[in-house]
Copies of this chain bind each other. A is one copy, B any other.
Amino acid sequence: MINIGLIGFGYWGPNLARNFSANPDLDLSYICDFSSDRLRAASAIYKETRFVNDPEELFKDPSLDAVGIATPVSTHFDLARRALESGKNVWLEKPMTEKVDQGEELIELAEKKRKVLHVDHTFVYTGAVRKIKEIMDKGELGEPIYYDSTRVNLGLFQQDVDVIWDLAPHDISIMDYLMPFKKVAVSATGSNFYGNGIVPKALLTVYMENNIVGHINVSWVSPVKIRLTLIGGTSKMILYDDNQPSEKIKIYDKGVDLYETKEALYHLKVQYRVGDMWAPKLSDHEALSYETKHFVECLESGRTPLTDGKAGLEVVKILVASQKSLHGRGAPIELG
């Protein structure tokens, strides 16, 4: 049995608590929150758990194996560092840290301490994304060409970060998982309309090696909710519509072929292929439950999580560069 403690019982924490608690290999030993109200709410559900205000109580308990951190991003670095230093395995919410060097330090520390550093990119563990990965790994799409995602709706307007820090981590982590190519540069645009210094609507472009491009459209000010991702390959293309209750992903046997001909010295000939569409059945497991199981397996086997510190850092790097580009009206920022 693995003893785990949870820090943060706000918006997302209760989901972690529920899944940690339901996993047969985990014992949810602690829930920690600064707010006594939140602890009271937690204690109505979890009976066998200790409720504390101070995260140090978790760090200093030698019987605790792992810590989940679901607090505001500005506290991630300090809490995760203390946890790792105390010899705990860490489940960290996304985005992993505010700064690139903080992420690098956590990765190094986890390696030194031989502990698991897992970043919660939940979407990577959904049935839809896992199925897309499986299809792409088999080479069905041919060469990847682009990733294009729209994630817009009305609401949850944040007051301290731009929309890219709130919504784009989902798309960046999915994109990086499906297209693990070197990211070369980032351009981001958007505008602060409301006068509060916050950008509620933005476009991101991620330039990757091999001329692959990622386009991400995020917004808090859309009249309708759209969760639509297009993934283009040379052989096939995928539409992933997360709004659909079923048939979330559709694989289109469609493509464009360009080739030289004798007749056309200057021009390449373009040819379209349009074939069948196919919507595979997806696992309807809750992503977080699957992810918790994966976390446990990594702890038990010493394997590296799919969404480890490196994956978390990749997202932070792109966010930080996007933020900079956003202030430069799209001026491209090279990624080291």
A residues adjacent to B (C-beta < 8 A):
145-146, 148, 150, 152, 154-155, 157, 159-160, 185, 187, 189-196, 200-201, 203, 205, 207, 211-213, 215, 217, 219-225, 230, 232, 237-239, 243, 245, 247, 250, 252-254, 256, 258, 267-268, 270, 272, 274-281, 325, 328-332
The one of B201, B220, B222, B232 in contact with A221, judged by C-beta atoms closer than 8 angstroms, is B232
Q: How far, in Å, is A154 (CB) from chain B's closest CB? A: 6
The one of B222, B252, B267, B279 in contact with A237, judged by C-beta atoms closer than 8 angstroms, is B222
Q: How far, in Å, is A329 (CB) from chain B's closest CB? A: 4
Q: How far, in Å, is A11 (CB) from chain B's closest CB? A: 15
Q: How far, in Å, is A125 (CB) from chain B's closest CB? A: 21
Are A201 and B215 in touch, CB under 8 angstroms?
yes
> Which chain B residues lie closer than 8 Å to A329 at the CB level?
185, 187, 205, 207, 332
Are B278 and A278 in touch, CB under 8 angstroms?
yes
The one of B211, B239, B267 in contact with A224, judged by C-beta atoms closer than 8 angstroms, is B239
Given A157-B256, A190-B205, A203-B205, 9 further pairs, Cβ under 8 A: A145-B221, A189-B205, A189-B207, A191-B213, A196-B267, A203-B215, A224-B252, A247-B277, A277-B281
How far is B326's CA from A213's CA once the two chains are assembled, in angstroms? 13
How far is B213's CA from A232's CA once the two chains are assembled, in angstroms? 27
How far is B245's CA from A192's CA once the two chains are assembled, in angstroms? 30
How far is B230's CA from A219's CA once the two chains are assembled, in angstroms? 11
How far is B45's CA from A211's CA once the two chains are assembled, in angstroms? 47
Are B212 and A222 in touch, CB under 8 angstroms?
no
The one of B196, B203, B253, B325 in contact with A203, judged by C-beta atoms closer than 8 angstroms, is B203
> Which chain B residues lie closer than 8 Å to A280 at the CB level?
276
Are B189 and A187 in touch, CB under 8 angstroms?
yes
Query: Contacts A196-B258, A203-B203, A272-B155 given: A219-B148 contact, CB under 8 Å?
Result: yes
Are B238 and A230 in touch, CB under 8 angstroms?
no
Q: How far, in Å, is A151 (CB) from chain B's closest CB? A: 13
Q: How far, in Å, is A333 (CB) from chain B's closest CB? A: 9
Are A215 and B194 in touch, CB under 8 angstroms?
no
Chain B minimum-CB-distance residue to A274: B281
The one of B192, B278, B331 in contact with A330, judged by C-beta atoms closer than 8 angstroms, is B331
A-B contact pairs, 9 of them (CB 8 A): A154-B272, A157-B258, A191-B211, A200-B256, A203-B217, A217-B217, A222-B237, A247-B277, A330-B332
How far is B192's CA from A211's CA once the two chains are assembled, in angstroms? 6
Q: How far, in Å, is A144 (CB) from chain B's closest CB? A: 9
Are A268 and B191 in touch, CB under 8 angstroms?
no
Query: Contacts A154-B256, A325-B330, A330-B330 given: A191-B220 contact, CB under 8 Å?
Result: no
The one of B207, B219, B279, B328 in contact with A277, judged by C-beta atoms closer than 8 angstroms, is B279
Are A201 and B146 in touch, CB under 8 angstroms?
yes
Q: How far, in Å, is A2 (CB) from chain B's closest CB? A: 24
The one of B190, B207, B215, B223 in contact with A252, judged by C-beta atoms closer than 8 angstroms, is B223
